[in-house]
Amino acid sequence: MDNRNMDKHRKNLLEERKSLLSIIDNIKEDNLLSKDEDSSELSSYDNHPSDSASEMFEMEKNMALEENEKVMLKKIDKALHSIENGTYGSCKMCGKNISSGRLEVIPYAEYCIDCQNHISSYENGEERPVEEKVLDYTFGYDDRIKTSGYDRVDAYQDVGIFNMIHNVEEYDDYDIEDKEGFVEPIEMISNQQYKNQLPH
């Protein structure tokens, strides 16, 4: 990356850092004001629990927002440090250059688009922690695993056959599988059938 682009990204990072510090200060100030309001009460015993809950929610929300801004600040500081080291703009995973368009939008990006998509697919996927490998999947989770083996749903359907009541008119044609989209046969009539009955 040439020096002109590097200086542009450094400037963007410093502006973003300044903005984040201002946001963090505002959040802290807001927390202090809400604490002052809380301490003005001699006792919260006579207050309705929902009054305290609203104040608690606001404090927790501000704490979460502050923590989020601090995480972003760490990413920006890390990017500024990588500029000083000369490693800015190269992917931490594959070592290729991160596109300048990506760095303009996300100046603290550590990975190229391909590697970030790969990481995000694992983060958003159905991966389970290593310690849970010994646990069995919960009921209904089997559908997400692409297997054609005999699973819990198959076992449930096999057992359900023995629960059928014979010689009952409504029950004889009952399927184990639910009918999708309708409950009674009359609901299967589509709007198109009505339109076909109208004179042309």
* 3-state secondary structure at position 97: strand
d(CA 197, CA 200): 9
pLDDT, tens digit only, all 200 positions of the chain: 677 888 898 999 999 999 999 999 988 888 776 665 655 666 666 667 777 777 788 888 888 999 999 999 999 999 999 999 989 999 998 989 999 889 989 999 999 999 998 888 765 555 666 677 677 666 555 555 555 677 777 888 888 777 766 665 555 454 555 566 667 777 777 777 777 887 86
Domain ranges of the chain: 3-124, 149-190
Residue 36 three-state SS: helix
- DSSP per-residue letters across 125-161: S----GGGTTSPPPTTGGGGS---S--HHHHHHHHHH
Nearest to 37 by CA among 84, 47, 164: 47
Domain 3-124 is of which CATH architecture?
Up-down Bundle (1.20)
pLDDT the model gives residue 2: 75
What are the Cα distances from residue 176, in Å, to 115, 142, 162, 170? 45, 18, 11, 14
* Amino acid (one-letter) located at 180: E
Distances, alpha carbon 42 to alpha carbons 19, 36, 48, 57, 59, in Å: 37, 12, 14, 20, 19
CA angle 161, 149, 155 (to 5 degrees): 25
Q: Give the 3-state secondary structure of residue 137.
A: coil
Question: Helix H segments across 48-179?
Answer: 49-85, 100-105, 113-124, 152-161, 169-172
Question: The whole model's pTM is what?
Answer: 0.55
Q: Which two tokens stand for residue 40?
A: 């003005």
Q: What is the pLDDT of residue 36?
A: 57
